Amino acid sequence: ARGYVICGSGHGTTGFSAPDKDGNWKGLDVDTCRAIAIAVLGDASKTRFVPLTGQQRLTALQTGQIDVLPRTTSWTLRRDANGINFTYPNYYEYDAFMVRKDLGITQTKDMNGATICVQTGSTNEVTVADLSRKFKLGLKTVLFDNVAASRQAFFSGRCDGLITDASAL
């Protein structure tokens, strides 16, 4: 009715959702939103993008702040049960770690007692807890509001490792 689709997007994930030097949004998630606008309104330009953090994205969808969330969001049973309606995935992803080379870590089981930078509210946070418990690693999470902050903390030496989606690494 308003004449455009409001899409939740990332804060600048190259290849998925990021504005270029001219402010034009580009990437797989952006193209997905534009495809929805074509299907519903007949025009790819009838889109608006709202950059959201991992913590904000589901609330924005549930409260109607956005119409659709074509961005990195794992399909989980809990999210399904809480009223999020998922469609078919347009991209398959997995969690991965990046660790400092000087630690000599070659597999997850070698990470005993490591500090891990992670985005709060993400499925990556659950993965760290599950792996720590399963392999009795005693991993310590250092939580950040967004991927950029967790990445910056890792590269500044605040954490031994960083977990996020493999494509982001």
pLDDT one-digit tens code per residue, 10-42: 877 788 888 889 988 899 999 999 999 999 999
Domain of residue 123 covers 95-168
- Among 30, 55, 81, the domain boundary falls at 81
pLDDT of residue 75: 76
Instruction: Provide the CATH number for the domain around residue 50.
Output: 3.40.190.10
Domain boundary among 31, 54, 81: 81
| Best CA proximity match to 8, nearest among 45, 82, 62, 88 | 62
Are residues 114 and 72 located together in one domain of the fold?
no
Spans of the chain, pLDDT less than 70: none
What is the total count of domains within the chain? 2
Quick one: CA dihedral 130, 131, 133, 139, positive or negative?
negative
> Which pLDDT belongs to residue 33?
95
* pLDDT reported for residue 93: 85
Compute CA distances 169 → 20, 28, 53, 133, whole Å: 20, 17, 17, 24
In a domain, 90, yes or no: no
Same domain assignment for residues 73 and 127: no
* Residues 74 and 9 placed together within one structural domain of the fold: yes
Instruction: Summarize pLDDT for 156-169 with one digit per residue, the tens.
Output: 999 999 998 888 88
